[in-house]
Amino acid sequence: MEKPVWTQNSLPRAFQLAHNTKAGTWGVLSVTSGSVDFTFLDGKSGPALHTYTINAGERCVIEPQQYHKVVPTGEVECQLVFHRCEE
């Protein structure tokens, strides 16, 4: 199944706020044009641990249960794919 390509206008608001993936679920965020600021957080309401700018042609691997947020820095196209690892 083809995953949606999001733009700065269609990126779900929930992704721009603190959130995480479920146990055993990894995410891969790929940016095809523009860039996003990807911030790892110390828990749902904790401070930022580190912010990376993910540019066109780059991707970011998101570990299970790691709180983070994704904020477009301007015009962007990106895609998110989830991978489930059974324990």
Residue 20 sits in a domain of what CATH number?
A: 2.60.120.10
**66 contacts 13 by C-beta, under 8 angstroms:** no
> Is 57 domain-assigned?
yes
> Is 22 domain-assigned?
yes
Burial of 25 (0-12, 13-18, 19+ CB in 10 A): middle
Residue-wise pLDDT for 41-76, tens only, equals: 999 888 999 999 999 999 999 999 999 999 999 999
- pLDDT of 2 above 70: no
> Is 43 domain-assigned?
yes
> Is 1 domain-assigned?
no
pLDDT-based confidence at residue 37 (cuts at 50, 70, 90): very high
> Is 36 domain-assigned?
yes
Stretch 6-23: mean pLDDT, rounded? 95
How many structural domains are present in the chain? Answer: 1
Q: What residue numbers bound the domain in which 77 lies? A: 6-84
pLDDT at 63: 94
3-state helix, strand, coil in the chain (%, to 5): 5, 55, 40
> Is 17 domain-assigned?
yes
| Of 82, 81, 73, residue with least CA distance to 54 | 73
pLDDT-based confidence at residue 1 (cuts at 50, 70, 90): low
